Amino acid sequence: MDSVLAADTLRSTVLNPKQRIDVATNSIVQSQMTENTHILQQIVCGVIYLAKQGIPFHNDVEKISSPKNPGNFLALLKSYAETDEILYNHLYSPKLRNATYLSPTTQNDIINIIGYDMLPAGIVEKVKVAKFFSVLADEVSSHNIEHLAICLRYVDANNDICEDFVTFIKLEEYVPLTYMKLLLVVWKNLDCL
């Protein structure tokens, strides 16, 4: 009897491979990966938008369910979620509470990845061919940590004034000489010296 049952099971999985456990498990994993990729893309789009516009991310109360202003970042994601069911479900009932990608640490990680790995090369090339340029440095505070925001302003080939965010630098000291040293390090790392 067991042999007949095993043979029937084998025959049914050969005829209909979707019933196999490994195929079903792989399908679930693939679906979760696709959903997580979509969520992360929306979050990265929100970070890029706020950074490009120079809009602060945070507020005193950073909870998506807060009746008060949750801060610009979460408010923007709530706006995206109005037309995005996957993001809506993630914001209001996340599957994993420790993997929402909404924390200030995650936002700063995204900014650092974009700032150090993706944006500067293109910006540096534009600055190198520009007739005029300047470096802008502005001290900002996020969760009691001081950062120096670095931007480059330049005149492009069409004589338009452009301003691009380059990076955040965590500040350990508040001395003007330290700022200058940090700017020189950034300038060197961007291959502008």
pLDDT digits (tens, 9 = 90+) for 123-147: 777 877 887 888 887 777 766 777 7
**With 70 as the cut, is the pLDDT of residue 104 above it?**
yes
> DSSP states of 86-129 as a string?
HHHHHHHS-S-TT--S-SHHHHHHHHHHIIIIISHHHHHHHHHH
pTM over 0.85: no
Residues of the chain with pLDDT > 90: what percent?
6
Q: Closest Cα to residue 47, out of 115, 120, 129, 124? A: 115
Tokens, residue 85: 């069911």
Domain map (residue ranges) of the chain: 2-109, 119-189
